[in-house]
């Protein structure tokens, strides 16, 4: 039966590919007759599954698809865009009329053009065949098992407010009249658990953790549930600390969130518009010598991995910051042309409806060889920052300044002593990069921007006015 199911899926995929090819040929022929000189389609066929459980029952269940196609073409010397969720002959005139109309009202003086394709494309493992065989029933059972393990870990676990499993699959196809024709198929799984615990004094704390990867059937749901409950319990008894300057470890979640918040400063578009202080900083020192930041789309089975970007440019691994030196900005073809450099393969689209922008693929601070526990010992006295709030409102991506609510743990003599809450940390992202004195080995990919834990020289903390 499983073989028949996979065979039917492959047959349906082939039929779909033939349908898109036929539609493309009709669309391009009609575009030429209308007066478009060059044109391109960007097709996405995606599906997603998610299940959330609460108190042993299904709280939310979704199984949906997202299919659509965008068209762009050169009309009277300008690039026009249009998109549709309908793939059929009746969509052709709609796409062409809207693209022509959009091109005529564009005021951008920069000429946008299409891409004939890279000389070769990398081999990347994007599709996990074992994942497609995991049934919805198995995913539901996984979520229930995870919730049960977290709740049964300790009587102080009041509930698991957010607990679930998500999977997604996506097919991308780009073709144009210059000869470009590339496609890829990917899938990914994600699991999350967010227990809520309550102490004897009535204090309530929550902690959430996410896992992303392949091999969902081999995932240890019970172990993951217990670990999240254990971590949530460690925050009970939290209180503030005196205001002052502290040595600090930003754990991998906190540092990953900070890096994600400021990742846009590495975009060549932001640099060219004057919205990044990294302008004219290529080959200059912008971070400590132990800091390397990479963008690697060619890593197997990660959410940001890709064979090509939204323009059809071959993806490639690259050091953005290497040993503290800024080596490159992230480019699409438009920004690369302005700077007279090769595109970096970061011209991604946020959806088939969007224009080409710039986005990282798998953007991360490269790990060191030291464990996080060793970093804690090395720090001696200080603070471990594990959670941050206010990243959207309390961080200025242009200046790099941030002021954020935080929580974590106080460290004395190289050992964690107690949890910390009701503090605000303030600093500057560019200064933070230069103040990193050690990088841990605990990198995990939970999205497309990630970091290991890092030890920094000091951070400004606003807490209670006196005493501990």
The reply to whether 295 falls in a domain is yes
Task: Collect the ranges in the chain with pLDDT lower than 70.
Answer: 1-16, 108-110, 465-468
User: Quick one: pLDDT at residue 105?
Assistant: 87
- How far is the C-alpha of 155 from the C-alpha of 253, rounded, in Å? 27
User: Quick one: pLDDT at residue 421?
Assistant: 96
Local structure of residue 370 (DSSP, 8 states): B
149 and 286, same domain (yes or no): no
24 and 84, same domain (yes or no): yes
The reply to whether 248 falls in a domain is yes
Residue 316 token pair: 């490639």
Residue 136 token pair: 């919805």
The reply to whether 159 falls in a domain is yes
325 and 440, same domain (yes or no): yes
Q: Which residues, 6 or more positions from 255, have their beta carbon under 8 angstroms from its beta carbon?
A: 365, 451, 452, 453, 454
194 and 255, same domain (yes or no): no
Coil/strand/helix, residue 373: helix
148 and 266, same domain (yes or no): no
User: Quick one: pLDDT at residue 218?
Assistant: 87
437 and 329, same domain (yes or no): yes
The reply to whether 207 falls in a domain is no
User: Quick one: pLDDT at residue 157?
Assistant: 98
Alpha helices in 365-438, H assignment, sequence order: 372-379, 429-434
Residues 235-285 have pLDDT tens digits of: 999 999 999 999 999 999 999 999 999 999 999 999 999 999 999 999 999
- Cα→Cα distances 322→182, 290, 294, Å: 31, 9, 8
Contact 9, 132 (CB under 8 A): yes
Burial class (CB in 10 A: 0-12, 13-18, 19+), 5: exposed
The reply to whether 229 falls in a domain is no
295 and 413, same domain (yes or no): yes
User: Quick one: pLDDT at residue 436?
Assistant: 98
253 and 135, same domain (yes or no): no
Give me the CATH number covering residue 31. Answer: 3.30.2290.10
Alpha helices in 164-251, H assignment, sequence order: 221-233
193 and 273, same domain (yes or no): no
283 and 190, same domain (yes or no): no
User: Quick one: pLDDT at residue 466?
Assistant: 54
What's the angle, vertex CA 404, arms to CA 400 and CA 409, rounded to 5?
120
Query: Both ends of the chain: CA-CA distance in Å?
Result: 65
- How far is the C-alpha of 140 from the C-alpha of 160, rounded, in Å? 15
User: Quick one: pLDDT at residue 109?
Assistant: 64
The reply to whether 215 falls in a domain is no
Residue 432 token pair: 């933070």
The reply to whether 221 falls in a domain is no
User: Quick one: pLDDT at residue 272?
Assistant: 97
Q: Which of 198, 219, 254 is the last residue of a domain?
A: 198
Q: Which of 198, 230, 265 is the last residue of a domain?
A: 198
Contact 362, 354 (CB under 8 A): no
The reply to whether 456 falls in a domain is yes
Domain that holds residue 459: 240-468
- In the numeric block, the tokens 């995913």 are attached to 139
**Predicted TM-score (pTM) above 0.85:** yes
43 and 179, same domain (yes or no): yes
User: Quick one: pLDDT at residue 464?
Assistant: 81
- How far is the C-alpha of 315 from the C-alpha of 312, rounded, in Å? 9
Beta strand 382-389 with 401-412 is: antiparallel
| Number of domains making up the chain | 2
297 and 380, same domain (yes or no): yes
User: Quick one: pLDDT at residue 467?
Assistant: 47
SS3 content of the chain, % helix, strand, coil (to 5): 25, 35, 35
């Amino acid at each position: 039966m499983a073989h028949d199911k996979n065979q039917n899926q492959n047959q349906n995929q082939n039929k779909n590919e033939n349908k898109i090819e036929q539609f493309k040929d009709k669309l391009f022929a009609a575009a030429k007759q209308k007066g478009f000189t060059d044109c391109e389609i960007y097709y996405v066929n995606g599906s997603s599954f998610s299940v959330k459980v609460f108190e042993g029952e299904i709280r939310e269940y979704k199984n949906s698809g997202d299919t659509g196609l965008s068209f762009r073409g050169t009309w009277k010397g300008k690039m026009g865009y249009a998109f549709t969720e309908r793939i059929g002959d009746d969509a052709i005139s709609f796409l062409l009329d809207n693209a022509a109309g959009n091109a005529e009202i564009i005021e951008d003086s920069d000429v946008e053009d299409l891409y004939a394709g890279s000389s070769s494309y990398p081999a990347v493992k994007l599709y996990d065949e074992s994942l497609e065989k995991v049934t919805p029933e198995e995913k539901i059972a996984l979520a229930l098992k995870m919730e049960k393990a977290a709740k049964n870990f300790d009587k102080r676990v009041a509930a698991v407010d957010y607990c679930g499993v998500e999977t997604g699959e996506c097919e991308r196809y780009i073709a144009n009249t210059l000869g470009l024709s590339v496609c890829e198929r990917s899938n990914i799984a994600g699991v999350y658990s967010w227990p809520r615990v309550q102490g004897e004094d009535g204090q309530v704390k929550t902690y959430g953790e996410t896992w992303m990867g392949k091999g969902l059937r081999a995932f240890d749901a019970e172990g993951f549930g217990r670990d999240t409950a254990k971590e949530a319990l460690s925050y009970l008894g939290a209180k503030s600390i005196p205001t002052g300057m502290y040595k600090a470890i930003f754990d991998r979640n906190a540092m990953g969130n900070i890096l994600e918040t400021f990742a846009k400063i590495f975009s060549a578009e932001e640099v060219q518009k004057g919205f990044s202080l990294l302008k004219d900083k290529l080959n200059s020192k912008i971070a400590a010598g132990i800091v390397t930041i990479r963008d690697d789309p060619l890593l197997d089975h990660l959410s940001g991995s890709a064979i090509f970007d939204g323009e059809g440019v071959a993806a490639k691994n690259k050091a953005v910051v290497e040993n503290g030196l800024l080596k490159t900005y992230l480019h699409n073809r438009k920004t690369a042309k302005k700077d007279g450099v090769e595109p970096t393969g970061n011209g991604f689209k946020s959806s088939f409806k969007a224009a080409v922008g710039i986005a990282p693929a798998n953007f991360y601070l490269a790990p060191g060889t030291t464990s996080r526990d060793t970093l804690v010992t090395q720090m001696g006295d200080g603070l471990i920052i594990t959670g941050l709030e206010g990243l959207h409102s309390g961080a200025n991506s242009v200046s790099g300044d941030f002021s954020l609510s935080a929580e974590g743990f106080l460290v004395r003599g190289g050992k964690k002593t107690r949890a910390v809450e009701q503090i605000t940390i303030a600093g500057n992202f560019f200064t933070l990069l230069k103040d990193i004195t050690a990088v841990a080995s605990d990198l995990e990919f939970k999205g497309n921007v990630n970091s290991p834990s890092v030890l920094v020289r000091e951070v400004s903390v606003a807490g209670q006015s006196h005493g501990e």
